[in-house]
Every structure is written in C-alpha cells, then in structure tokens.
Amino acid sequence: MIDYVWGALAFATPWALGFAGGTEGFLLMFFGVAAFAYSFATDYEWGVIPVLSVPAHLAVDGAGGLFLMAAPWLFGFADRVHWSYLAFGGFSVVASLVTRTKPAGR
C-alpha cells in the first residue's frame, strides 16, 4: 500500500510545493506514475497483474531512489529544488533495504 501512497505523493508534490513546471517537476511526477505502474504489476498483496517479483520491485525502488537523490545535481536544479528529491529518494532506498521479499500470507 505504501507504494501507491508514495506514487501519489511524488506526483502531487511538485504542484503542492510550486515547482510543477520544468524538469524538476516532471521527474518527480514521472517517478510517481512509474511507482504506480510497477506496483500495479508486482507479485504482492496490492499487485493487480503479478508479473514483477518483489525482489525486482525492490531493486527498482533502490535504484530509482538513488537516481532521485542525485537528480537535482545531475539536471542542474539543486539550487531551486532538492529536499523533496532527497526525501523521496532516501525513503525509496531505505524501503528497498528493509522490506520483506515474501508477501504476507503466502
């Protein structure tokens, strides 16, 4: 369930904090939509079309989180926006390291 909440918050944050235009808004919104898509396709309790394994999902979370943490500096908008990227990226990395790989009840 957290994956869907994370995706919705990542998508909404650029509008809520006033940076929806440009690369800094697009990247976070893209990651929000992507989180919905691969969560929808993960073989776990909240997955709808279970084609992606939980370990693969967590690998995407971890790699995506590292990318988000570096993105403000890679794309040159760190002087305007970086805390949101560090928070969303850091959460993703930590979640990828502490999440169980076996779904509950299986």
Domain extent, residue 28, equals 2-98
Single-letter amino acid code for the residue at 86? L
Give the H/E segment covering residue 85: helix 83-98
In a 3-state reduction of DSSP, which class is residue 29? helix
Asked if residue 39 lies in contact with residue 3, where contact means CB atoms within 8 angstroms, the answer is yes
In a domain, 103, yes or no: no
Q: Count of domains in the chain?
A: 1
In a domain, 62, yes or no: yes
pLDDT value for 43: 87
The average pLDDT across 74-96 equals 97
Asked if residue 10 lies in contact with residue 26, where contact means CB atoms within 8 angstroms, the answer is no
pLDDT digit string, tens, across residues 30-70: 999 999 999 999 988 888 899 999 999 999 999 999 999 99
In a domain, 18, yes or no: yes
Asked if residue 36 lies in contact with residue 5, where contact means CB atoms within 8 angstroms, the answer is no
Query: What is the chain's mean pLDDT, rounded?
Result: 93
In a domain, 11, yes or no: yes
In a domain, 106, yes or no: no
